Amino acid sequence: MNEIAVVILAAGMGTRMKSRTPKVLHKVAGRTMLGHVLATATELNAARLVVVHGPGQEGEMVAEEAHRHTPGAALTEQTERLGTGHAVMQALPALQGFSGTVLVLYGDVPLLRAEILRTLLEKATRAPLAVLGFEAADPGSYGRLILSTDGEGLEAIVEAKDATEEQRRITLCNSGVMAVDADLLRALLPKLSNDTAQGEYYLTDLVALARAANKPVALATCEEEEVLGVDDRLRLARAERIMQHRLREHAMRGGATLTDPDTVFFSFDTEIGRDVHIGPFVVFGPGVRIADGVIIHAHCHIEGAQVDTGAQVGPFARLRPGAVISSGAKVGNFVEIKNATVEEGAKVNHLSYIGDARVGSNANIGAGTITCNYDGFLKHHTDIGAGAFIGSNSALVAPVKVGDGALVAAGSTITRDVPADALAIERAEQRNMEGHAARYRERKKAEKARRGK
């Protein structure tokens, strides 16, 4: 296969998104659409990668995202948005000296997978221009692909508004994605005309120009969902549904059980081991690794966290960035863990907040316990030793250390270190006032009767 350069067109304004965020920076499965396209381009081992972005602050945001994902990408600005052909013209200086195949992708087409593009690129080894098409359920405004008489190559692309009645019945449509020999691209781009209704230069006109020069044009096809372009919030939601279906299928084929797959939402980078059981209504944000044999009960939210072999989480638990749940540990209902390690066999079973802390192996955290990690200015660490027992409704005011095997009595506020194997109690002495409850009730009944009169 020829050396590859990838040009990603990401200068569209996306007015139908009705957003201050550039269209290509809206997210699908926790990653920007541009990020998905860049990741796919990286899989192809492209020799050069060029991102064409728009002007102004929005363009700067797109450029920043491109460099965050792919620091080696070349960036070029399309100051005037004069169509796809014009956008590719802006990429030519970054392709100087390149003599392989140029693959043109779009920053708002996040679902297109590398294996489809490899098929297109293989076609481009037998023709100087190859176009990616699809069978549309509703061809609508898509450009129609007119096949050559042998049915193998492409004769022309006809825009819907210019198509005859017979051509409009064609369901084979243009995705806009194409692979073109670099030398042919340089020869044909200057011949594009902007004599169109919008005064724009269309990249699709390369097909007619190539055929006029007696150059063959190859065709590769894919499923419609692969080339779904996102130009409004409805299509963004559709792209999310398709991506989630792929991620769920990948998890289940990898050995995970999803009780109700349609209610589980993954991030693009979620790692799920074998024999993992995931209950309904579980959401994974970016940066999650789940090891083998983990049980995640219903209604959990997990982001930036690691859950090791055989641990249990939930129901209704939240693991925030920096949470590490070690092998055999348990994090129960309405528990929040942030930037903290719960070591092997430890239990945080009910209604607790553990932040900026270590919970030692086999320690037990009682219901309603919180680590008071923030003093209004800085975060501080709490260290709970192995085998320690923290009674219910305790507050551990960081920085503080509870030693191995220590006990903290229920309802205590701990502000000083607790030595290993010690018992810490911090609460007022209990007083029992005999008969007070009965006298209180009688007094209140009498008061209520007076007010009733």
**Beta pairing, strands 336-342 & 324-325:** parallel
HSE-up (13 A, CA, CB side) for residue 79: 0
**Beta pairing, strands 101-106 & 74-77:** unpaired
Q: Each residue of 345-374: b (16+ CB within 10 Å) or e?
A: bbbbbebbbbbbbbbbbbbbbbbbbbbbbe
CA distance readout (Å), 291 to 262, 271, 349: 22, 8, 20
Task: Report the interhelical angle of 33-43 vs 114-123 (nearest 10°).
Answer: 50
Q: Which residues contact 325 (CB under 8 A, 6 or more apart)?
A: 305, 306, 307, 308, 311, 313, 319, 331, 337, 342
Burial label, 159 (beta-carbon count in 10 A; 0-12, 13-18, 19+): middle
To the query of whether residue 297 is one of the catalytic residues in this protein, the response is no
Alpha carbon of residue 385 to chain centroid: 36
CA distance readout (Å), 285 to 97, 110, 148, 230: 42, 18, 48, 22
HSE-up (13 A, CA, CB side) for residue 174: 27
DSSP per residue, 214-233: T--EEEEEE-GGGG----SH
Beta strands in 223-319 (DSSP E): 257-258, 271-272, 277-278, 283-284, 289-290, 295-296, 301-302, 306-307, 312-313, 318-319
DSSP per residue, 167-178: HHT--EEEEEEE
Quote the DSSP letter at residue 189.
Answer: G
d(CA 371, CA 336): 11
Q: Is the dihedral of CA 394, 315, 384, 285 positive or negative?
A: negative
d(CA 259, CA 282): 10
Q: Is 384 helix (H, G, I), strand (E, B) or coil?
A: strand
Q: Which of 26, 250, 299, 350 is catalytic?
A: 350
Annotated active-site positions, please? 350
